Amino acid sequence: MMKTYNKRDIYINKIKPFINKDIIKVLIWQRRVWKSYILFQIMDELKNNFWVLEKQIIYINKELNDFDFIKDYNDLLSYIKKWDSESGSLWKIKKYVFIDEIQDVINFEKALRDLQAIWNYDIYISGSNANMLSSEIATYLTWRYIEFEIFPLIYKEFLDFHKLQNSKESFLKYMKFWWLPYLKNLELQEEIVYDYIKSIYNTILLKDIVKRYSIRNIDFIEKLIMFLSDNIWSLFTANNISKYLKSQKIEIWTNIVLEYISYLCNVYLINKVKRQEIVWKKIFEINDKFYFSDLWIRNVLLWWYKQVDIWKIIENIVFLHFKAHSYSIHIWKNKDKEIDFIVEKSGDIKYIQVAYLIESDNTKQREFDNLIEIKDNYEKIVLSLDDFIDWNYKWIKHYNLIDYILKFK
């Protein structure tokens, strides 16, 4: 079971408090974020820091022909219990069960509930979002599980995976080629990466969305994705989208737009961020923003990116950076005033404005004064790509965006 991989400690640190706890650990997210390698890293964590022996660990990967005989939950239980009995004197010691692509086992939840009831199994699973959505996991396992969202690479990981030093050139590559861990095995050339990413996008579109939800109007779903790709920075409603599509001679009901957007969110292609009123912490039912889970898909759809889009891209980068660090995220808009992100975790609240460059007094006033209007004492930050910045302008902190996300803990 020897595997070489780049460590993704941000996720191991999230999972470690639940090791040896009577709760099933579920790894989820979009395709090709290397959930499997997180499982291998957990196994090594167990052996290196929890005194777990190799023979206490069983790993089942339903993508391998070796496990093709495991068709349903009875096959799975029989295989694990046979392995357990062959452990001999270890039968009283806790065992660690890792199952990759568990959705390929019919009624897998019955096996997991049985194993959990025995009390001496610590269980970790991963699954494809084509067949195991977050809402379905809740139905299958009720209170018995905890989810861990595995994101594509944040910038610090990107540098590590590709053995790069931080520089403007490296950050430019990150904006272009982004997040997929497997890209470390390819040359970061547009044509090569484009072909690889396009094939993944087609799989997500055709298998995870079209096939799963029996969508017939494929042309519409593609146009909707393209519209969202070009408007990741905008506040809009389903009604706005519907009006736009009508302007493109596409007649579609608003409720259908909402339904299709929910499909895109379900498979983690996009993320919906809702508007929040600051004083009363009220969450509005309209005026959402949408950000891509993986900008490589967005860039491929628009044939990489246009220079004028750079501020949209860095806003999406900041959004996903805080998501990877388990912050909940909202936006705020009041008339012509807007704050890009209100992020919160365990009572830690930050107000974040994102700008490309603060090139004029007007830009500075717009970005900073919106934050000044917020009268509470939580941290207020402006992030930009400026080399020379005002570290503290009217009590608002100003950071170089790249430095900020690299040093963030």
Q: pLDDT (tens digit, 9 = 90+) per residue, 37-52?
A: 899 999 999 999 999 9
CA triplet 330, 390, 406: central angle to 5 degrees? 55
- Rounded CA gap, 24 and 41, in Å? 17
Domains of the chain: 9-149 (3.40.50.300), 155-407 (no CATH)
How high is the pLDDT of residue 177? 67
Per-residue pLDDT band at 284 (split at 50, 70, 90): very low
Asked if residue 118 lies in contact with residue 124, where contact means CB atoms within 8 angstroms, the answer is no
**Looking up tokens 């107000």, which residue turns up?**
351
Q: Is 281 exposed, middle or buried (0-12, 13-18, 19+ CB in 10 A)?
A: exposed
User: Is pLDDT at 302 greater than 60 in this prediction?
Assistant: yes
| Distance separating the N- and C-terminal Cα atoms of the chain | 32
How high is the pLDDT of residue 31? 65
How high is the pLDDT of residue 141? 80
User: Is pLDDT at 307 greater than 60 in this prediction?
Assistant: no
- Rounded CA gap, 174 and 33, in Å? 15
Cβ-based neighbour number of residue 327 at 10 Å = 19
For the entire predicted model, the pTM comes to: 0.86
How high is the pLDDT of residue 279? 53
Q: Which long-range contacts (CB under 8 A, 24 or more apart) does 393-401 make?
A: 393/364, 393/368, 394/368, 396/368, 396/371, 396/372, 398/358, 398/368, 401/314, 401/317, 401/318, 401/354
Q: Which long-range contacts (CB under 8 A, 24 or more apart) does 341-344 make?
A: 341/273, 342/276, 342/278
Helix-strand-coil split of the chain, %, nearest 5: 45, 20, 35
H helix intervals, 89-144 = 108-118, 134-141
- Rounded CA gap, 88 and 340, in Å? 58
Asked if residue 180 lies in contact with residue 32, where contact means CB atoms within 8 angstroms, the answer is yes
User: DSSP secondary structure string, 235-252?
Assistant: -B-HHHHHHHHHHTT---
